[in-house]
């Protein structure tokens, strides 16, 4: 089956993001000092961990070691130290927040533009992320400057300098323009600034791809849905959710998604058979269990996961999903 173009684009950008993050982390690891911890610093750090010293009371050397230990821990599991666990514990997400989260971007305090006007005045739906944290980031880069923060680009400043010289402006004005040009060029050459800018640009493309696919469906833009719904929606359409495996491993999402997930049962479609979908999910859950009869396991699952449906619907689901129709101990072959 042909891979949709938007899925291919999204996957390509995600690969680039992962490669950039790995390269950045490898460089940071090589730059760390490789020295043994002195005895007095070790005692100081032990006191800090025991709570008898605050971080502000640490010496410069001890504070550096604590920061390096924190960075090493975050590098091993950056998602754990991000806002994603808190977001996954929310009951629902707003659609725009969900698109950002699926693209690996923390919507909290993200500074971005969802669209822009081109030179013809047309409104172009293309997200731009200026500042934000991403869940796999191993250090806080939120307020680290990027070239896009500056008012003019290097090319624009060079033109302004030429124009100022042509009209005979003061040396002070030209010097100020040259100073601003040097500032732009400095941040353009800064590796960390470039890393942040490139990662956010790639994630903005991922976000735009997801949003365009979402907008192509018949959704109520104000309707909030569960985190699991948005993950199922993205994965069923071929988009890899970068953090989904982590979320399943840590119990935020079901570890083993049933084979009957969308597109076979697509909650967006007009012919979505909700009760049939619940019945299949209950069957899938019950066949892996060991406590109680199949009907008891099915009933318990439906009652726990879908308390809003009627008693009659629950009984119908138990009847459909229960494979042990005769009751009692099932017969064995022989």
CB 285 within 8 A of CB 118: no
Q: Would the pLDDT of 245 be above 70?
A: yes
The secondary element (H helix, E strand) that includes residue 111 is: strand 111-113
Q: What is the predicted pLDDT for the residue at 197?
A: 92
Model confidence band, residue 259 (pLDDT cutoffs 50, 70, 90): low
In terms of average pLDDT, the best of 91-105, 113-127, 141-155 is: 91-105
Q: Would the pLDDT of 36 be above 70?
A: no
Crossing angle of helices 171-189 and 154-166, rounded to 10°? 170
Q: Would the pLDDT of 75 be above 60?
A: yes
Q: What is the predicted pLDDT for the residue at 4?
A: 85
Per-residue pLDDT tens for 100-140? 999 999 999 899 898 877 777 787 788 999 999 999 998 88
The secondary element (H helix, E strand) that includes residue 124 is: strand 123-124
Q: What is the predicted pLDDT for the residue at 76?
A: 79
Q: What is the predicted pLDDT for the residue at 14?
A: 96
Q: What is the predicted pLDDT for the residue at 173?
A: 87
Q: Would the pLDDT of 182 be above 80?
A: yes
Q: Would the pLDDT of 34 be above 70?
A: no
Average pLDDT over residues 58-84: 76
For 228, other C-beta atoms within 10 Å of its C-beta total 14
Per-residue pLDDT tens for 204-227? 999 999 999 999 887 777 788 999
Q: What is the predicted pLDDT for the residue at 334?
A: 38
Q: Say how far apart CA 141 and CA 144 lie, in whole Å.
A: 5
Average pLDDT over residues 10-37: 82
Average pLDDT over residues 9-20: 95
CB 283 within 8 A of CB 259: no
Q: Would the pLDDT of 264 be above 70?
A: no
Q: What is the predicted pLDDT for the residue at 332?
A: 46
CB 199 within 8 A of CB 17: yes
Average pLDDT over residues 89-107: 95
Higher pLDDT, 124 or 295: 295
Q: What is the predicted pLDDT for the residue at 257?
A: 55
């Amino acid at each position: 089956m042909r891979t949709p173009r938007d899925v291919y684009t999204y996957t390509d950008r995600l690969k680039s993001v992962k490669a950039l993050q790995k390269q950045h982390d490898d460089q940071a690891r090589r730059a760390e000092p490789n020295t043994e911890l002195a005895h007095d610093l070790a005692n100081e750090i032990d006191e800090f961990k025991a709570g008898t010293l605050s971080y502000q009371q640490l010496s410069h050397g001890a504070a550096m070691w604590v920061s390096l230990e924190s960075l090493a821990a975050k590098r091993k599991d950056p998602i754990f130290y991000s806002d994603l666990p808190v977001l996954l514990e929310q009951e629902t997400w707003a659609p725009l927040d969900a698109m950002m989260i699926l693209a690996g971007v923390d919507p909290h305090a993200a500074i971005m533009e969802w669209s822009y006007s081109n030179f013809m005045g047309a409104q172009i739906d293309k997200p731009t992320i200026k500042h934000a944290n991403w869940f796999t980031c191993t250090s806080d880069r939120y307020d680290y400057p990027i070239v896009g923060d500056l008012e003019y680009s290097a090319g624009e400043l060079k033109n302004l300098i030429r124009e100022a010289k042509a009209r005979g402006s003061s040396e002070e004005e030209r010097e100020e323009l040259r100073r601003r040009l040097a500032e732009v060029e400095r941040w353009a050459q800064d590796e960390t600034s470039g890393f942040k800018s490139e990662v956010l640009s790639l994630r903005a493309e991922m976000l735009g791809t997801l949003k365009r696919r979402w907008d192509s469906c018949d959704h109520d833009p104000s309707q909030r849905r569960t985190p699991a719904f948005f993950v199922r929606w993205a994965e069923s359409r071929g988009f890899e959710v970068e953090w989904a495996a982590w979320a399943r491993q840590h119990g935020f999402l079901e570890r083993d998604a049933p084979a009957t997930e969308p597109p076979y049962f697509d909650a967006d479609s007009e012919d979505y058979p909700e009760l049939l979908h619940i019945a299949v999910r209950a069957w899938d859950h019950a066949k892996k269990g060991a406590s109680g009869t199949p009907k008891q396991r099915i009933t318990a699952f439906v009652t726990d996961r879908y308390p809003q449906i009627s008693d009659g619907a629950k009984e119908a689901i138990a009847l459909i999903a229960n494979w042990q129709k005769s009751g009692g101990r099932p017969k064995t072959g022989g």
